[in-house]
Amino acid sequence: MEKDNKRFNIDYILIFIILALGAISVISLYTVQDILLTDSNTIFYKQQIIWYVLGFIVIGAMMFLDYDNYRKMTWILYGIGLFALAGVYFLPFSLELNNARGWYDLGVGTVQPAEFMKIILILTVAHVITTHNEKRLNPGFKDDVWLLAKVGLVTLPPVLIVFGMPDVGSAVVLTCIVAFMILVSGIRWRILLVITGLVGLIIGAFIGLYFLFPDFVQNYLNDTIFSHVFERLEAWFDPQQNVQGSGYQINNTLLAIGSGQLFGKGFDNFDVTNIPVRESDMIFSVIGEQFGFVGSSIVIILFFFLIYRIIQTALACKDPFGSYICAGVVGMITYQVIQNIGMSLKILPISGLPLPFISAGGSSLIAYMMAIGLILNIRSRIRSYMFDD
């Protein structure tokens, strides 16, 4: 017997967290607007408000349809997503920005299909894992390998297309989404440990090659579409080596964050102004400089509670498909938060990934709001029963 027969069970805590992050985003963009190193006449904080309004409309639309119905449309969405990704290579209205082809120019603005592919991939992999496990009550070793193969088959096409744009950051996000979902898929841990070990060896070998033969790595990368990767590695390992070149952005970012000290310099107070793409990739430097360690910690705590709340939804959901969706969203947000803040603090190499819900950007914000719409959808349809534990 159900304890609660209400159709919707709205997660107001999750909505409050998103509103809080939205307020931080608009305030940060408002204060930094006048010192941005951009030729654009865009008023970013006003644009961000519009994107948030549209985002909440998207959330409402996502909640209108029972999330299980998205499972029925998975392969159609997957096909549309792949076509949209591949289209940036040949469609006439595709756009190249920063030496990468990853956008469409729609006249009224640009759209980045890779952002929406993240949501589509979450739905697709959740469907694949759920369908596989429904047919096998006691899966064996071969079943686990077959599941990995199926997940790999749906993951590789979008990852390779995005990687070739080149958009290494988004390709890694797609990979991390799938990795988080595989972790909770029921696959044996010894298989996962072998895969993790192989990935670690490949990354370690590449880093070792960089330190042992830097000239070889630089010359090799310069002959490919990934020539920017060497500069990012150089900025990560030794930003002082090329202060006016590869190390320019990260050095100034560290100066800005460090100058905020404990409580920051205060509202609309900047000494470090020459940081490229500060409205997007380096938005954390705005928070660190103005509001210091305390303000930065509040942002990190908000993200912690956001992720914790999604995990709670996953644990409460009795439908595996819904739980896998939650795992994918956790993977997407967790990695991007760690990567963006980590690169701002020089803990991780620089990549063009925005800080979720805070950085300026329409495609990324709408994609995040779609993800939240799915989580709220799942949460609203969780029912508790009298004899549940």
| Domain range summary for the chain, segments of one domain joined by + | 1-65+247-382, 70-212
What is the distance between the alpha carbons of residues 125 and 321, in angstroms, rounded to a whole number? 9
**Angle in degrees, CA 370, 376, 380, rounded to 5:** 145
Residues 6+ apart with CB under 8 A from 334: 176, 180, 307
The pTM assigned to this predicted structure is 0.92
Give the pLDDT of residue 223: 79
Q: Give the residue-averaged pLDDT of 40-47.
A: 87
For the segment 81-100, what is each residue's pLDDT rounded down to a tens digit? 999 999 998 888 888 877 77
Give the pLDDT of residue 228: 78
What is the distance between the alpha carbons of residues 15 and 13, in angstroms, rounded to a whole number? 5
pLDDT at 188 over 70: yes
Percent of the chain with pLDDT over 90: 57
Closest CA to 99 of 231, 219, 284, 216: 231
Q: Are 240 and 252 in contact (CB under 8 A)?
A: no
For the segment 250-299, what is each residue's pLDDT rounded down to a tens digit? 999 999 999 989 998 888 788 877 888 899 889 999 999 999 999 999 99
pLDDT tier, 336 (very low <50, low <70, confident <90, very high otherwise): very high
pLDDT at 112 over 80: yes
Q: Give the residue-averaged pLDDT of 124-139.
A: 89
What is the distance between the alpha carbons of residues 151 and 119, in angstroms, rounded to a whole number? 15
Place of tokens 């967290």: 17
Give the pLDDT of residue 385: 47
Give the pLDDT of residue 78: 97
Q: Give the residue-averaged pLDDT of 315-330.
A: 94
Q: Are 170 and 162 in contact (CB under 8 A)?
A: yes
Give the pLDDT of residue 387: 47
Closest CA to 101 of 218, 91, 109, 228: 91
What is the distance between the alpha carbons of residues 114 and 123, in angstroms, rounded to a whole number? 15
Give the pLDDT of residue 284: 95
Over the Cα atoms of the chain, what is R_g?
22
Retrieve residue 257's tokens: 């964050």
What is the distance between the alpha carbons of residues 221 and 89, in angstroms, rounded to a whole number? 21
pLDDT tier, 50 (very low <50, low <70, confident <90, very high otherwise): very high
- Find out whether the peptide bond into 166 is cis, omega within 30 degrees of 0: yes
pLDDT tier, 5 (very low <50, low <70, confident <90, very high otherwise): very low
Give the pLDDT of residue 8: 61
**Angle in degrees, CA 45, 47, 48, rounded to 5:** 60
Using DSSP, how many helices (H) and how many strands (E) does the chain show?
A: 14, 3
